[in-house]
Structure 1
Amino acid sequence: MKANIAALTLGVDDLERSLRFYREALELSSPGIIGTEFEADDTTPGGAVAMFTLDSGLILSLYERENLAKDAGVAPERITGSPMSLGCFVSDRNEVDRILERAQAAGGTIVRAPLERPWGIYAGYFADPDGHLWEVVYFLGGQPPN
């Protein structure tokens, strides 16, 4: 297998709210919610999803938590919160502050205000409305380490 992650899917409570949040907070572009013609029933997941194709080619998908659990065949309780953080790198220190401000204005929560770390980054954390944890990072040297 080639070391590559092609898609990340976040389980969300309210698909429209989450689509709006990611458009406003991270300024991501999406055609909107697709797959609404595939309706859920007691055992089959629905198909409504919102997708963002990132500059790296990675697809960030938003899928209602209950449908993601049905699709994966796991209990809905398993699709909660954030046992990890997602990260985005920015090329300007001030962009860290701007993204955190936009995230809060769009309905997210600032988890940790940005600060300089001794290992050469300026970074802060926010959580989206569903509790998914994001770190916004600026490398003080201007480039991520190799």
Structure 2
Amino acid sequence: MPLSSVVVSLPIADRRTSFEFYRDGLGLDAIGEVADDGVPEPLQFALSDGVRLMLVPTGGFGWVIGDREVAGRGRSECVITLRVDSEAGVGELVERAHRAGAEIVTRPGKQPWGYAGVFADPDGHVWMVTSESIPT
């Protein structure tokens, strides 16, 4: 059965902080109607055709995952990877994210499988930026 779309949902502490980080730090365009707080509701960004990022306040995220504990800052259960066209692009995107409030986890550099840099967003979610595909 082919999927029509994929939505990656992440818990967040503050809608405004996350909105500004993903808009300014990663250059993503928000999707949806703007709510009274000036932030789209639900807070979503298009990553590519058929792939969206949805950012959910921790309380609402807890409702979705039931009795499971929402991972705290500094605990990552997944790494989201963004592929760009060049090594320079890796450095530019990691630096842009850093200026917008990201913590650099791994500075951009050569790896055995390509070139990558890693940062954590304001809620501690880990993002890898690479210029080569990661072997599966």
Q: Which residue of 2 aligns with 1:18?
A: 18
Equivalent residue of 2:30, what SS?
coil
Q: How far apart are residue 3 of structure 1 and its match? A: 6.0
C-alpha change, 1:55 and 1:113, in structure 2 (3 Å) is: same
Q: How far apart are residue 62 of structure 1 and its match? A: 0.7
Aligned residue among 64, 75, 80 for 2:57: 64
How far apart, CA to CA, are the structure 2 residues paired with 1:70 and 1:15?
A: 17
RMSD: 2.5
Aligned residue among 80, 86, 94 for 1:100: 94
CA contact (8 A) 1:12 1:18 kept: yes
The sequence identity of aligned pairs, in percent, is 33
Aligned residue type for 1:66: G
Q: How far apart are residue 78 of structure 1 and its match? A: 2.2
Q: Which residue of 2 aligns with 1:80?
A: 72
TM-score calculated relative to the size of structure 2: 0.82
Q: Which residue of 1 aligns with 2:9?
A: 9
Q: Which residue of 2 aligns with 1:126?
A: 119
Aligned residue type for 2:26: L
In the alignment, structure 2 segments of 5+ residues that lack a partner are: none
How far apart, CA to CA, are the structure 1 residues paired with 2:102 and 2:108?
A: 15
In the alignment, structure 1 segments of 5+ residues that lack a partner are: 37-47
CA contact (8 A) 1:21 1:106 kept: yes
TM-score calculated relative to the size of structure 1: 0.77
How far apart, CA to CA, are the structure 2 residues paired with 1:5 and 1:73?
A: 23
CA contact (8 A) 2:4 2:50 kept: no
- Which structure has the larger Rg over C-alpha atoms? 1
